Amino acid sequence: MSKRLEIKPSDITIRHKFAMFVCVCSVLFPAMALTGFMPEAQDVSTSTLVAIAVIGSAGSGAIAFPRRRLRASISGAMLGGGALLGIVFYVILRLVLIPSESFYNIEFVIAGLLGSLPGLLLLRWWALRPETPLSDRASNATGPSSTD
């Protein structure tokens, strides 16, 4: 039985920290521009801001896990786009339900985490899954053999 790739806190390197920084920046600034917290960026189109978040997060996935670059990029793109849309939808919903202009920082963090949850799950269960050789796949497809 193959063991999944586990990342312990001691396994986090400078490369992983840099990738997290790139991901946070590529989601944070477009989210601030889309929600109106950065008024000087109102001239940038919505599709451009979403593309910045998705491409930046995909790049951070490739930086963090270079051996699984394609899968990590796809998961990172889903993570970044989900986090961006989660924050934007939360701000819109909150302003409709509670018309107050003050927000706590934790509200954005929770909205971003909930939005990025599909991408995080995809990263954990698909991108970080260890590769099995084709010979093992063929032997598992026929089922266990009995030697009795």
Question: Residue 41: what pLDDT?
Answer: 86
Prediction pTM value: 0.78
Question: Residue 5: what pLDDT?
Answer: 59
The alpha-helical segments, DSSP class H, found in the chain are 14-35, 46-64, 69-97, 105-122, 134-141
CA distance 144 to 45: 56
Q: Tell me if residue 98 falls in helix, strand or coil.
A: coil
C-alpha pair distances (Å), 8 with each of 5, 11, 12, 62: 10, 5, 7, 19
Helix axes 14-35, 69-97, angle to 10 degrees: 30
Question: Residue 1: what pLDDT?
Answer: 47
Q: Compute mean pLDDT per 10 residues along the chain, 148 residues long, and list them.
A: 62 89 95 90 92 97 92 95 95 90 89 94 85 60 56
Torsion from C-alpha of 31, 29, 70, 109, nearest 10 degrees: -60
